[in-house]
Structures are given as structure tokens and as C-alpha cells.
Structure 1
């Protein structure tokens, strides 16, 4: 069953609809969205590592050396807050796994649909043998000449 276009043929909205549909089919927007989500969660993980682990270790080290710096005298820089980092790490792992399984299901459905289309319309999906490149033709000619010399 074919899906009808919501617009009349050869109008600006119909052309825009076709362009938007082809852009979505290419998958670029999908991969861009996945990259944005993973980048955001990974950025939160790196920020948590820097703020909670590294700055805490630096603050403890500076206080142990007896250096008095106003910014590091704050209590938040004198402790390593590993709980916040573990929370950010778990969030990253959960979001990454969810995105992976969502993409996995999407590609499984797409491949099943493509297999069904190949079975229904095999003439559309016949793959022709690729033409040999000039390098391959030259190599084949050299092989035949070498075989002729051996005989």
C-alpha cells in the first residue's frame, strides 16, 4: 500500500515534501541527531570528570602542600566527589545503550523491509558485475603474457 502525498503534484509544498523525505532517507539527519545526543552526554561526563575528580584532586594537593589560594579554600575543591562522576558515567552508559538499541532496531526493520522489496521486485536489485579498472586490465594482460612465455 503506497502512502499518498499530502500535497498536490508539482507544487512548492510537494517539492519541499519530496526534498525533506529524501534528506531523511539518506540518514544524515538521523546520524547528526545521534551525534548530538552522544556529544551532549559525553560533554557532561567530561565536565563531571574535570570538576568533580580533577579539581578535587588538585584542591587536596594544594591544601596538602600548604599553599593558600582563595579559590581553592572552598570546601567543594577539597573533596573528590566520585559519586557525581559515577552518576554521569552511568547516565552516559544508559543513554549510549539506548541509542545503540534504537539504531539496531531501526536498521533491522530497514533491512527486513529491503529484503522483502528485493524478493518482491528482484529485477530492481540485480547487481551487475563491476567493470575492471585499467590497472586490473593491465595486470591481467601481463599475466597472460607471462603464461605464454612459460609455455
Structure 2
């Protein structure tokens, strides 16, 4: 719901200024760049080697002609390989990030007794203010 004192433009500015929207935009741009790197890796390095190992077949040239229609199933195979490699790279990257975060959490010192008490007081005050 919009506040009575805010107009749509102000609400839109607040929405765009939120960190998660900007983070998402950066993620999309980085994902696109990462995708083209992996696509080049697959097309320029992996698929020629795989084609050579299976008898020199170029997947992108594989097709079936049905009547006047040409079905390029080789491009589909290429896209599936691209997807699997991209998914594997993202999976590996996320595992590494999680491992790093776990290690960082383990290294973080436990809060002292005063900090714990202050956090409990803060939480109790929040509860009372919400009632």
C-alpha cells in the first residue's frame, strides 16, 4: 500500500534504490557475461574434442529434413551441453561460496555476555513496541 504522502514516482525511486533490486540487476548482467564465457568454452574447446572422440561429428550440423522442414537437432544437443556445463559451474561456485561462508562463521568469535544481554533487551523492547 502506498503512503498518503508519497506519490508513485517517490515510491518507484525507493524501490529502485533498494539493494536487492540493484543486486539482482548486477546478477543478471554477470550471469549473461558468464553464460557467453561458458558458451565459448563449450563451442570452441569441448565440443570439437567430443566430436573428434566420437568420429568427427559436428553436433551443430546434425539435422533431419522432413518434407520442406529442416529440424536442426544438433543445435538442441549443443544447447543441452551448454546448459549442463553452465549449471555445473554455478553449482560448483555456490558450493565454494557456502564453504567460505561456513568457515567465516566458524572463525567469528562468540559474542560476550554483555552483548547477548543487550540483544535480548533489544528484542524484548521490540516485542513490547509491536503490541
TM superposition score category, shorter chain reference: 0.3 to 0.5
TM score, norm. by length of structure 2: 0.42
Q: Over alpha carbons, which structure has the higher Rg?
A: 1
TM score, norm. by length of structure 1: 0.37
Q: Which has the higher contact order (CA 8 A, sep 6+)?
A: 1
